[in-house]
Amino acid sequence: MGSSSVTENSFRETTLGKTGRVVGRIAVSGGYGVPAGAVEMAFERGCNYFYHGSFRKKGMNEAIKNLCAAGKRDELFIVAQVYTRWGWQFRRSFYSFLKKTGLDYADALLLGWYNSTPSPKILDICAELREKGLVRHIAISGHNRPAFPVFAEKGVGDIFHIRYNAAHRGADSDVFPMLKGDRPGTVAYTATSWGQLLKKGKMPAGEMVPRASDCYRFVLSNPNFDLCMTGPADTAQMGEALAALDRGAMSEEELAWMRRVGDHVSRKSFR
């Protein structure tokens, strides 16, 4: 992994794997209460991948409605997450998403937290929703990294949401070498390792404390990832995430620093 393969333009936008969609490389989650104005600010900076997960907060919902009302629907890539494994609840959750957002379809339906292949029942519902034109792509997330090559082999998911940060870099060995050919889109989440990478008390001696934008830059400097998820709670945090785009890809020295910090955090926090 190195910054040499990430150009200034590709640091800001990319094609989301085999979906063929062009997306800004910072993905925005609305689950932590980010206000609508901050989401719309991110859109103006080219961020169009909006993750409206199980906690469908007001800010993201308002931003989606405002942008759609302004004629921007075709520019948005909106992701609806469903966690439930029960068929009737699955459908109810998804249709509730459409009703709440006022949308006719979701760009992706995210199957939340699967560490093994989803049941045939869930996959059948996904196929049904796609056939009806209510869903354009299927995404899948999980914490079991070896499951993702299996998903790829079975054709489960057009987009993979994978845990990745300086303290959890296992996808570099457990996932990406096995993804061949026309690969799914890739989205990293937990870039700050649940805030562990931002805490002074977690740092090795003599090392600077990373900013949140450093954590996002670390992920985006990895050419295996199309997107890095951010979950801001307010406008200031959204601004810090967007600062990653201005600061650009990390140098080899910066990448080495983040790996040292990440290794230390991993040893101390995740034994």
**What confidence category does residue 106 fall into, taking pLDDT thresholds of 50, 70 and 90?**
very high
Whether 3 shows a pLDDT value over 60: the answer reads no
pTM check: above 0.85: yes
Tell me the mean pLDDT in the region 29-40: 96
Residue 4 — very low, low, confident or very high, per pLDDT cuts 50/70/90?
A: very low
Average pLDDT, the chain: 94
**Predicted local confidence at residue 271, as pLDDT:** 45
Domain residue limits, the chain:
3-269
Q: What are phi and psi of 65, to 5 degrees?
A: -65, -40
Residue 1 has pLDDT above 60, yes or no: no
With cut-offs at 50, 70 and 90, classify the pLDDT of residue 8. Answer: low
For residue 2, is pLDDT > 50?
Answer: no
The C-alpha torsion from 122 through 126 and 127 to 132, rounded to 10°, is 140
Average pLDDT over residues 109-117: 97
Tens of pLDDT, residues 190-249: 999 999 999 999 999 999 999 999 999 999 999 999 999 999 999 999 999 999 999 999
| 22 vs 94: CA distance, rounded Å | 24
pLDDT of residue 195: 96
More confident residue, 270 or 174: 174
Query: DSSP letters of 8-56?
Result: HHHHHEEE-GGG--EEESEEEE-TT---HHHHHHHHHTT--EEEE-SS-
Please calculate the CA angle 149-152-156 and round it to the nearest 5 degrees.
Answer: 125
* pLDDT band for position 10 (cuts 50, 70, 90): confident
Taken in order 143, 144, 145, 149, the sign of the CA dihedral is negative
**Lowest pLDDT segment from 57-61, 84-88, 215-219, 229-233:** 84-88
How confident is the model over 260-267, as a mean pLDDT? 96
- Name the H helices within the chain: 8-12, 36-44, 58-69, 87-101, 120-131, 147-154, 171-174, 212-220, 235-247, 252-269
Report the CATH number of the 3-269 domain: 3.20.20.100
